[in-house]
Amino acid sequence: MRLALERRAERSVAIAIASPLIAIALTLITMTMLFASLGKNPVAALAVYFLDPLTDPYSLQEIAVKATPLVMIAIGLSLCYLANVWNIGAEGQFLIGAVAGSWLAVKTQGTDAGAWVLPAMLVLGALGGALYALIPAICKVRFGASEILTSLMLVYVADLVLDYLVRGPWRDPQGYNFPTTAEFDSVATVPILIEGSRLHLGALIALVVVAVAAVMLGRTIKGFEIRVVGSAPKAARFAGFDADQLTILTFMISGALAGLAGIIEVAGPVGHLQPNISPGYGFTAIIVAFLGRLNPIGILIAGLFLALTFIGGEQAQIAMKIPLDLTKVFQGILLFFVLACDSLIVYRIRLMPSHRRATHGIG
Partner 1 sequence: MGLAESIILAVLAASTPLLLAAAGELVAERAGVLNLGVEGMMIMGAACGFAGAYVTGSTAIGALCGIVAGAALSAVFAVLTLGLAVNQVATGLALTIFGIGLSGLIGASFVGEKIAAAPHLFIPVLTDLPFVGRILFGQDGFVYLSLALVAAIWWFLYRTRAGLVLRAVGDNHASAHALGYPVLTIRALAVLFGGACAGLGGAYLPLAYTPFFIPGMTAGRGWIALALVVFASWLPGRLVAGAYLFGAVTILQLHAQGAGLGIPSQLMSSLPYIATVLVLVLISRARATAGSAAPASLGLVFVPDR
Q: Per CB under 8 A, does 244 bind partner 1? A: no
Cβ at position 278, least distance to partner 1 in Å: 14
**Per-residue DSSP letter, 356:** S
Q: According to CB under 8 A, which one of 98, 137, 335, 345 is a site residue for partner 1?
A: 335
Distance CA 64, CA 202 (A): 10
Cβ at position 171, least distance to partner 1 in Å: 13
The closest of 118, 133, 244 to 192, measured between CA atoms, is 118
Cβ at position 332, least distance to partner 1 in Å: 3
Cβ at position 315, least distance to partner 1 in Å: 17
Q: According to CB under 8 A, which one of 25, 164, 215, 219 is a site residue for partner 1?
A: 164
Cβ at position 40, least distance to partner 1 in Å: 12
Cβ at position 50, least distance to partner 1 in Å: 17
Which residues inside 63-122 make contact with partner 1, applying CB under 8 A? 86, 88
The one segment of 120-128, 185-193, 199-207, 320-328 that binds partner 1 by CB under 8 A: 320-328
Q: Per CB under 8 A, does 234 bind partner 1? A: no
Distance CA 84, CA 267 (A): 33
Q: Per CB under 8 A, does 16 bind partner 1? A: no
Q: According to CB under 8 A, which one of 75, 154, 203, 257 is a site residue for partner 1?
A: 154
The closest of 90, 111, 21, 1 to 305, measured between CA atoms, is 21
Residue 184, C-beta contacts closer than 8 angstroms, at least 6 positions apart: 102, 105, 109, 266, 267, 271, 272
Q: Per CB under 8 A, does 336 bind partner 1? A: yes
Q: Per CB under 8 A, does 145 bind partner 1? A: yes
Q: According to CB under 8 A, which one of 143, 176, 196, 221 is a site residue for partner 1?
A: 143
How many residues bind partner 1 (CB under 8 A)? The answer is 60
Distance CA 142, CA 94 (A): 24
Task: Please give the sequence-ordered ranges of beta strands (E in DSSP) within the chain, or none if there are none.
Answer: 2-7, 347-352
Q: Per CB under 8 A, does 18 bind partner 1? A: no
Distance CA 235, CA 299 (A): 28
Q: Per CB under 8 A, does 1 bind partner 1? A: no
Q: How many helices (H) and strands (E) does the chain have?
A: 14, 2
Distance CA 156, CA 91 (A): 9
Task: For residue 258, give Cα distances in angstroms to 89, 178, 285, 297, 362.
Answer: 10, 26, 10, 18, 42
Distance CA 319, CA 44 (A): 10
Please give the residue ranges that form the binding site for partner 1 (CB under 8 A): 3-5, 7, 38, 86, 88, 135, 139, 142-146, 148-150, 152-154, 156-157, 160-161, 163-164, 167-168, 283, 286-287, 290, 323-333, 335-336, 339-340, 342-344, 346-347, 352, 356-357, 359-363
